């Protein structure tokens, strides 16, 4: 069940009516949330409901053990390691098994050996990377003493399986959302309107993203050689597609949650207006980058002991691996890690300080373009099928090809660039004036009406969101 | 209820129009979310319902208004344009499928349904056909069930609806003539039927079909219900498809390099459209299905319309425009090589089987080709012949082959494959009538 589908509209409408009008007892509402979330999840594959509940139950119990042993560091750590092993084990089995097996086989082959490892045909449970990270962060927070272990499995399950963010994030932490689920605050009408505005904008961004699928597919999947111009069109279209798709999904998730009285953090902050790769990772998929910072980078030692570069690089490589079980994603993570490390190094050099700190609009524009160019260089790894194809695409981007430019390529490029800019400008307007608009109802409702009309007119119902695969 | 986790005592706070630092909280929800051991206040049911009612009333109204605007826009486009989404003619035709049942059983006229693509829609005139047949001594009443942009994957759904309409009824239809267009059954063509496929499934399926779909693919089932109940049968994809057509056409046009510009149309096409709409109020827009003209268009029109039509057709037949049309058909439908999709043939066969369950006799007609403009390759003709053999072997139908005999040149066509609305339509219908009159007389003798 995806947000931009008719079935979700009816699902959420029914849920909302029950949530607001029928159930008034806190416990019954929690039951309603759990059952609805499991139904929402089960529409993909109901077999994996068990995995989700198991994951929640395991971390719920382990966190209690961690807390019970808070005065025994060794035992406490053992329980934490159990939780991490369990969560990473689930990911290894369901997401990374074939990647690991295939890599072992290739590694042995590299040294002239031969080993035939049968690959497993296991379906990837949708959203597994999101909810295992969320579940794991709960145990780590309890271990660190950042929160108390919660008593009440149902509420914990409601938190972990909260349907707006269950399958594609944002990645929440229990300490952010659990108290809100328990408190069950009634949202203000302002928050309801803010939620609906986000839903409308998210749906429009998703529609824009779907419209980019053509040029992206032409550049990445076309059987024929693609011209340099169309390769760039496809790569820019992918920037627009992945941003519109994922930030659109996040906006809808935040909006839906807000209508239920739950705050979810902003997950994107105009990433393509970033002025450096470091800035980019503060603006793109914020819930993942902050998760990695708090639970991985800091655990690796952070910027202590002069190992900041190593820790950053490792964190980014693992961020790549989080996105997918393939060497292209690992390479993508390594590339991003390298960019972040190099940017930090340059920032540390006195000679560049003037440039990096300049607020001049011309310098800012150049920094934005250079940063986006560096991001675009990574798309062949992120979206490409294998390293060889990514390499070929990289060459096509920079060495003019003999392939003929197809008719209408100029129009398509213009539409792609317009789409990319419009999505960002709309978001910039929302971030800057969203609250003011939401307060001015005489303006708010007509804009909402126009937005929903636009979506119903051209919105491509039922197209999957890209980040579901992660 | 006691819980170890709570964060507030403001559950009972009245909703307020205050800004409440919304943006800050969206940015940093960690703020004020501390885990505390406190007693949770009971929920304020009245407040919850009040906010719920506000949401349902204003949010629901906005969504409803948006849907109404979309449907209003669709209705306006349907009125002002020529079959803009392709589904309207299918919808209205499907509602008229039982028309034969209204003809008394003792009526001596032969009832003929002609089904197929836009070649039938624009190329078959029930009035001309019936007049010819009546004059030949074979009293006939015929109906045009052809519609544009539809390929066999769409026809099969239409035919299923036809079979269901006549289920348990006497075989009141004497003959169904089903037009088979080879370039409408190619792999390339099959790749383009997406949005119309969804629309026709939504419009032509029974509720039990949709119920069955609900079990295997709930999302698709809800999307079908949505299209059928709330979007007048027009999915968003159809609108996107329509909006993107100018770009697609421009791309296809630009595919032919260094070509001179065609003769300008000077808006004459729309002048003709509006003139015909005023001449034939029951038959316009072309997307609909007129009882009065039995799904076709009247055989003639006002002198102004005829004059306009002559001029429009002349300009449409401009060699540059015809070449453009030919290139488009090659690009969209593999018109010269005709690599036929086996799934399309399976759909043709199933369509015929449905038709056979309804009519006493079913034939296939191959409509005339624009031989001045289109030269099918040898391989294409072989592919076509093979497909026809397969269809005949599976269904035993007769074939009325007007494809290349007699020779029809560009003067009968307004583009690469569609017949001019007066001269071409009259010619093609007469050719069909001649065949059927001959055959009927021979059978009678």
CB contact under 8 A, B54 and A192: yes
Contacts of residue A432 in chain B, CB cutoff 8 Å?
none
Domain check: are B59 and B108 in the same one? Answer: no
How many domains, chain B?
Answer: 2
Which is the catalytic residue, given A71, A114, A150, A323?
Answer: A323
Question: Per mean pLDDT, which range of A89-103, B121-135, B324-338 is the poorest?
Answer: A89-103
Question: Per mean pLDDT, which range of A241-250, A406-415, B176-185 is the poorest?
Answer: A406-415
Q: What is the dihedral of CA B166, B170, B173, B177, to 10 degrees?
A: 60
Backbone angles phi, psi at A182, to 5 degrees: -65, -45
CA distances to B70, B73, B195, B234, B242 from A457, in Å:
6, 9, 14, 10, 11
- What residues contact A356, with CB distance under 8 A and at least 6 apart? A276, A346, A347, A367
Surface of A (124-153) touching B: CB under 8 A: 147-152
CB contact under 8 A, A411 and B44: no
Nearest by CB to A184, which of B11, B23, B254?
B11
Q: Is B173's Cβ below 8 Å from some Cβ in A?
A: no
Nearest by CB to A179, which of B7, B73, B225?
B7
Q: Using the 3D structure, point to which of B63, B82, B101 is the last residue of a domain.
A: B82
Buried b (16+ CB within 10 A) or exposed e, B22-47: bbebbbebeeebebeeeebbebbeee
Name the residue range of residue B66's domain: 53-82
Taking residues A71-84, what's their average pLDDT? 92
Contacts of residue B236 in chain A, CB cutoff 8 Å?
456-461
Contacts of residue B51 in chain A, CB cutoff 8 Å?
20, 186-189, 192
More confident site: B231 or A113: B231
What tokens does A290 get?
Answer: 């902050």
What tokens does B188 get?
Answer: 């390339």
Q: Using the 3D structure, point to which of B67, B82, B97 is the last residue of a domain.
A: B82
Predicted local confidence at residue A377, as pLDDT: 93
pLDDT band at B25 (very low <50, low <70, confident <90, very high): very low
- Alpha carbon distance B287, B118 (integer Å): 11
Helices (H) and strands (E) in chain B, counts: 18, 5
Please check the confidence at residue A460 and state whether its pLDDT lies above 50: yes
- Alpha carbon distance A445, B424 (integer Å): 53
Predicted local confidence at residue A44, as pLDDT: 82
Residue B401 lies in a domain: yes
pLDDT band at A466 (very low <50, low <70, confident <90, very high): low
CB atoms within 10 A of CB A470: 22
Domain check: are B295 and B371 in the same one? Answer: yes
Taking residues A433-445, what's their average pLDDT? 90
Contacts of residue B222 in chain A, CB cutoff 8 Å?
5-7, 10
Domain check: are B187 and B70 in the same one? Answer: no
Domain check: are B392 and B299 in the same one? Answer: yes
What tokens does A378 get?
Answer: 């990574």
CA distances to A256, A270, A271, A341, A425 from A363, in Å:
39, 18, 17, 21, 20
Domain check: are B292 and B422 in the same one? Answer: yes
- Alpha carbon distance A63, A141 (integer Å): 9
Taking residues A363-392, what's their average pLDDT? 90
Chain A to chain B, count of Cβ pairs less than 8 Å apart? 210
CB contact under 8 A, B51 and A183: no
Residue B262 lies in a domain: no
Q: Is A440's Cβ below 8 Å from some Cβ in B?
A: no
Residues in chain A, overall count: 470
Taking residues B221-250, what's their average pLDDT? 80
What tokens does B229 get?
Answer: 């109940």
Which residue, A18, A297, A295, is CA-closest to A171?
A295
Q: What is the CATH classification number for the domain harbouring B290?
A: 3.40.50.1110
Whether A323 is catalytic is yes
- Alpha carbon distance A436, A131 (integer Å): 34
Domain check: are B77 and B157 in the same one? Answer: no
pLDDT for B359-377, tens place per residue?
Answer: 999 999 999 999 999 999 9
Domain check: are B284 and B413 in the same one? Answer: yes
Domain check: are B63 and B99 in the same one? Answer: no
Distance between A116 CA and the closest CA of chain B, angstroms: 37
Question: Per mean pLDDT, which range of A141-155, B2-16, B66-80, B295-309 is the poorest?
Answer: B2-16
Distance between A375 CA and the closest CA of chain B, angstroms: 24
Backbone angles phi, psi at B18, to 5 degrees: -65, 155
Domain check: are B91 and B62 in the same one? Answer: no
Domain check: are B64 and B120 in the same one? Answer: no
- Alpha carbon distance B392, B369 (integer Å): 21
Residue B37 lies in a domain: no
Taking residues A99-118, what's their average pLDDT? 78
- Alpha carbon distance A136, A413 (integer Å): 43
Predicted local confidence at residue B21, as pLDDT: 45
Distance between B22 CA and the closest CA of chain A, angstroms: 7
Domain check: are B67 and B138 in the same one? Answer: no
Q: Is A341's Cβ below 8 Å from some Cβ in B?
A: no
Contacts of residue A194 in chain B, CB cutoff 8 Å?
22, 26
CB contact under 8 A, A457 and B239: yes
Residue B148 lies in a domain: yes
Domain check: are B283 and B329 in the same one? Answer: yes
Question: Per mean pLDDT, which range of B254-263, B282-291, B416-425 is the poorest?
Answer: B254-263
Three-state DSSP at B358 gives coil
Q: What are the residue boundaries of the structural domains of chain A, listed by start?
A: 6-184, 190-469
Which residue, B64, B42, B46, B121, is CA-closest to B297?
B121
Surface of A (374-413) touching B: CB under 8 A: 406-408, 411-412
What beta strand segments (E) does B211-300 contain?
A: none
Nearest by CB to B15, which of A152, A188, A254?
A188
């Amino acid at each position: 069940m995806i947000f931009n589908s008719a079935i979700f509209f009816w699902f959420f409408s029914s849920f909302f009516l029950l949530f607001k009008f029928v159930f008034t007892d806190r416990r019954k509402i929690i039951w309603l949330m759990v059952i609805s979330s499991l139904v929402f999840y089960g529409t993909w594959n109901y077999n994996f409901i068990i995995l989700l509940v198991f994951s929640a139950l395991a971390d719920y119990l382990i966190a209690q053990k961690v807390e019970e042993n808070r005065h025994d560091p060794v035992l406490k750590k053992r329980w934490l390691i159990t939780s991490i092993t369990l969560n990473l084990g689930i990911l290894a089995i369901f997401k990374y098994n074939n990647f690991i097996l295939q890599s072992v086989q290739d590694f042995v082959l590299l040294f002239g050996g031969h080993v035939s490892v049968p690959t497993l045909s296991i379906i990837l449970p949708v959203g597994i990377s999101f909810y295992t990270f969320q579940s794991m962060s709960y145990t780590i927070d309890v271990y660190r003493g950042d929160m108390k272990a919660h008593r009440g499995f149902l509420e914990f399950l409601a938190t972990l399986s909260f349907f707006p963010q269950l399958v594609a994030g944002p990645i929440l932490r229990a300490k952010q959302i659990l108290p809100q689920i328990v408190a069950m605050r009634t949202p203000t009408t302002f928050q309801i309107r803010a939620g609906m505005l986000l839903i409308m904008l998210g749906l429009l961004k998703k529609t824009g993203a779907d419209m980019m699928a053509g040029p992206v597919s032409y550049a990445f999947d076309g059987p024929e050689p693609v011209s340099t111009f169309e390769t760039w069109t496809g790569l820019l279209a992918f920037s627009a597609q992945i941003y519109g798709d994922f930030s659109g999904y996040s906006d809808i998730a935040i909006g839906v949650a807000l209508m239920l009285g739950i705050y979810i953090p902003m997950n994107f902050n105009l990433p393509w207006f970033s002025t450096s790769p470091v800035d980019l990772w503060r603006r793109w998929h914020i819930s993942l980058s902050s998760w990695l910072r708090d639970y991985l980078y800091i655990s690796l030692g952070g910027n202590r002991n002069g190992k900041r570069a190593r820790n950053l690089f490792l964190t980014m490589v693992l961020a790549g691996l989080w996105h997918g079980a393939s060497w292209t994603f690992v390479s993508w993570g390594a590339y991003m890690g390298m960019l972040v490390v190099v940017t930090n190094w340059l920032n540390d050099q006195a000679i560049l300080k003037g440039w990096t700190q300049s607020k001049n609009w011309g310098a800012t524009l150049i920094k934005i373009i250079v940063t986006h160019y560096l991001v675009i260089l990574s798309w062949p790894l992120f979206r490409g099928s294998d390293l060889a194809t990514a390499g070929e695409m990289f060459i096509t981007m920079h060495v003019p090809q003999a392939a003929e430019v197809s008719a209408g390529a100029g129009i398509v490029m213009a539409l792609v660039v317009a789409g990319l800019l419009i999505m960002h400008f709309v978001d910039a307007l929302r971030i800057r004036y969203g609250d003011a608009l939401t307060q001015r109802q005489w303006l708010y409702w007509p804009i909402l009406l126009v937005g929903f009309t636009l979506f119903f007119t051209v919105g491509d119902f039922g197209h999957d969101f890209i980040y579901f695969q992660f | 209820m006691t819980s170890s986790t709570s964060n507030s005592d403001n559950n009972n706070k009245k909703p307020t129009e205050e800004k409440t630092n919304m943006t800050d909280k969206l940015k940093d929800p960690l703020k004020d979310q501390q885990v505390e051991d406190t007693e949770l206040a009971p929920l304020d049911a009245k407040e919850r319902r009040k906010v719920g009612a506000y949401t349902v009333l204003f949010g629901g109204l906005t969504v409803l208004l948006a849907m109404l605007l979309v449907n209003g826009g669709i209705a306006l486009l349907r009125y002002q344009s020529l079959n803009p989404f392709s589904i309207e003619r299918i919808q209205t035709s499907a509602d008229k499928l039982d028309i034969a049942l209204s003809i008394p059983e003792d009526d001596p006229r032969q009832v003929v349904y002609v089904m197929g693509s836009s070649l039938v829609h624009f190329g078959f005139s029930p009035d001309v056909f019936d007049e010819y047949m009546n004059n030949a001594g074979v009293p006939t009443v015929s109906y045009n069930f052809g519609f544009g942009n539809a390929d066999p994957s769409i026809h099969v759904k239409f035919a299923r609806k036809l079979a269901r309409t006549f289920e348990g009824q006497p075989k009141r239809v004497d003959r169904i003539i089903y037009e088979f267009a080879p370039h409408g059954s190619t792999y390339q063509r099959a790749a383009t039927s997406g949005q119309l496929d969804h629309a026709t499934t939504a419009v032509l399926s029974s509720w039990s079909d949709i119920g069955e779909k609900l079990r295997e693919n709930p999302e698709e089932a809800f999307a079908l219900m949505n299209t059928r109940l709330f979007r007048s049968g027009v999915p968003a994809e159809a609108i996107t498809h329509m909006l993107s057509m100018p770009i697609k056409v421009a791309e296809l046009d630009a595919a032919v390099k260094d070509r001179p510009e065609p003769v300008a149309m000077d808006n004459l096409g729309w002048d003709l459209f509006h003139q015909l709409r005023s001449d034939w109020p029951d038959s316009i827009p072309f997307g609909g299905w007129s009882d009065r003209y039995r799904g076709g268009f009247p055989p003639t029109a006002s002198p102004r319309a005829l004059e306009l039509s002559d001029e429009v057709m002349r300009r449409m037949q401009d060699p540059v425009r015809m070449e453009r049309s030919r290139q488009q058909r090659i690009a969209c439908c593999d018109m010269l090589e005709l690599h036929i999709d086996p799934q399309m043939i399976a759909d043709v066969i199933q369509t015929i089987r449905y038709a056979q369950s309804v009519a006493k006799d079913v034939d296939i007609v191959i409509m005339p080709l624009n031989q001045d403009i289109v030269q099918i390759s040898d391989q294409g003709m072989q592919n076509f012949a093979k497909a026809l053999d397969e269809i005949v072997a599976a269904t035993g139908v007769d074939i009325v082959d007007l494809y290349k005999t007699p020779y029809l040149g560009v003067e009968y066509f307004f583009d690469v494959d569609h017949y001019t609305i007066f001269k071409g339509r009259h010619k093609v219908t007469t050719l069909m009538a001649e065949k059927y009159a001959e055959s009927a007389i021979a059978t009678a003798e």
